[in-house]
């Protein structure tokens, strides 16, 4: 199979295992491209992509923009803060105005869960979800799983613990779904107040003790506390959180095996991980960022291939 089973990338839940392997194999090729002296291919010279960011972003936005440029697509960038959304324009009207300028694909980050699904039903363009509220962040999960595959050879059979604010995290849900589809075992770890009720129904284990979770895993994905999504306090203080769930070098060195440490960014150094862990050889945080460009190139390329097939 060399075609995705989906027409949009709205969430990991819609992808098959074969889709994920196809994305990874395509990303392998693009990773080789972006490490050449000329880091660009002419594949998408006939495609125009709009990047619509209704929420803050550094990595995802720059990574998508670079992926599009490396594929030679034309791009336009939209940021809600400086747009007519502030004058009351609806999401569908905003996007339809952009599409009237002959745009083929929309990459969208939005604070509302399901915004990408909504858009895919109302506008005639390929939609890529770049994060929708606390729901899904599919490209982050794909680049995370790709980075585990790169470091450990395979995702199947690996034990991955996701640590921290699971309750408010779109990265956690997308990672759980992607890792399970690829045959990994997943646990979550954090204060009970930040673990969603009934998460076990997803086939995920819960471990409240950080040391036990780290002793169990091959990979620890350390998540940020998402203060911007909290309207109440979920733990007594940041100091208390760091004491119980912060990963430092002393803990890392005390484990009976060498684990891989991941973080989707942005990092709060000294909270979820200390600087000496973030900058250690066991951390693959910057590999995740590098792989993000190749994985996003693969997703854009595979969805654009569908547009071209329909045109022919
Ligand atoms: N990992 C991630 O989504 O980072 P940004 O919010 O900076 O895009």
d(CA 119, CA 108) in angstroms, rounded, equals: 9
Which H/E stretch holds residue 78?
A: strand 74-79
Are 19 and 115 found together in one domain?
Answer: yes
Are 24 and 53 found together in one domain?
Answer: yes
Structural domain of residue 76, as residue ranges? 12-135+289-311
φ/ψ bin of 159: left (φ > 0), alpha (ψ from -120 to 50), beta (otherwise)? beta
DSSP 225: P
Question: Domain for residue 256, yes or no?
Answer: yes
Are 221 and 125 found together in one domain?
Answer: no
The number of domains in the chain is 2
Phi/psi of residue 62, nearest 5 degrees: -65, -40
Three-state SS string over 181-224 comes to: HCCCEEEEECCHHHCCCCHHHHCCEECCCHHHHHHHCCEEEECC
Phi/psi of residue 300, nearest 5 degrees: -60, -45
Are 163 and 122 found together in one domain?
Answer: no
Q: CA–CA distance from 199 to each of 4, 7, 136, 138 (Å)?
A: 29, 29, 15, 19
Q: Cβ distance 305 to 3 under 8 Å?
A: yes
Q: In terms of residues, how long is the chain? A: 312
Ligand 1: atom nearest CA of 55 is: 6
Q: CA–CA distance from 28 to each of 175, 265, 291 (Å)?
A: 20, 23, 9
- Strand-strand pairing, 48-53 and 74-79: parallel
Question: Domain for residue 5, yes or no?
Answer: no
- pLDDT tens digits along 69-120: 999 999 999 888 777 777 888 888 888 888 888 999 999 999 999 999 999 9
Ligand 1: atom nearest CA of 63 is: 8
Are 209 and 165 found together in one domain?
Answer: yes
Ligand 1: atom nearest CA of 265 is: 1
Residue 157 maps to which CATH number?
Answer: 3.40.50.1370
140 lines ligand 1 (CB under 6 A): yes
Are 40 and 89 found together in one domain?
Answer: yes
Distance of CA 241 to the CA centre of its chain: 24
Q: Cβ distance 219 to 148 under 8 Å?
A: yes
Are 281 and 237 found together in one domain?
Answer: yes
d(CA 27, ligand 1 centre) in Å: 20
d(CA 296, CA 146) in angstroms, rounded, equals: 11
Q: Cβ distance 174 to 12 under 8 Å?
A: yes
pTM recorded for the entire structure = 0.95
Going 245 to 286 to 283 to 9, the CA torsion angle's sign is positive
226 lines ligand 1 (CB under 6 A): no
Nearest CA to ligand 1 atom 5: 57
Average pLDDT for residues 44-49, to the nearest whole number?
A: 96
- What are the beta bridge partners of residue 214? none
- pLDDT tens digits along 156-204: 999 999 999 999 999 999 999 999 999 999 999 999 999 999 999 999 9
- pLDDT tens digits along 194-251: 999 999 999 999 999 999 999 999 999 999 987 777 777 788 789 999 999 999 999 9
By most ligand atoms within 8 Å of CB, the mutation choice from 52, 53, 60, 221 for ligand 1 is 60
d(CA 286, ligand 1 centre) in Å: 13
């Amino acid at each position: 199979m060399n075609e995705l089973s989906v027409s949009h990338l709205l969430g990991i839940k819609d992808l098959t295992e074969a889709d994920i392997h196809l994305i990874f194999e395509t990303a392998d090729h693009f990773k080789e491209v972006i490490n050449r002296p000329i880091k660009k291919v002419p594949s998408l010279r006939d495609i125009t992509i709009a990047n619509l960011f209704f929420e803050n972003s550094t990595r995802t936005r720059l990574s998508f923009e670079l992926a599009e440029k490396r594929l030679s697509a034309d791009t336009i960038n939209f940021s809600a803060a400086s747009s007519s959304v502030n004058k009351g324009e609806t999401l569908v009207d905003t996007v339809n105005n952009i599409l009237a300028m002959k745009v083929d694909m929309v990459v969208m980050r939005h604070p509302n869960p399901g915004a990408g699904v909504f858009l895919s039903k109302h506008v005639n363009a390929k939609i890529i979800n770049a994060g929708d509220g606390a729901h899904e962040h599919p490209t982050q999960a794909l680049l995370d799983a790709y980075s585990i595959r790169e470091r450990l050879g395979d995702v199947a059979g690996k034990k991955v613990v996701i640590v921290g604010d699971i309750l408010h995290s779109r990265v956690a849900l997308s990672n759980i779904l992607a890792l399970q589809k690829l045959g990994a075992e997943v646990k979550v770890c954090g204060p009970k107040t930040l673990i969603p009720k009934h998460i076990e129904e997803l086939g995920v284990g819960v471990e409240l003790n950080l040391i036990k979770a780290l002793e169990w895993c091959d990979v620890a994905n350390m998540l940020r506390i998402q203060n911007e999504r909290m309207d109440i306090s979920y733990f007594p203080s940041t100091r208390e959180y760091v004491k119980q769930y912060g990963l430092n070098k002393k803990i890392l060195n005390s484990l009976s095996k060498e684990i891989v440490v991941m973080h989707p960014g942005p990092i709060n150094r000294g909270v979820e991980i200390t600087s000496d862990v973030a900058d250690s050889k066991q951390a693959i945080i910057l590999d995740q960022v590098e792989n993000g460009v190749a994985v996003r190139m693969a997703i854009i390329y595979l969805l654009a291939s569908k547009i071209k097939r329909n045109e022919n």
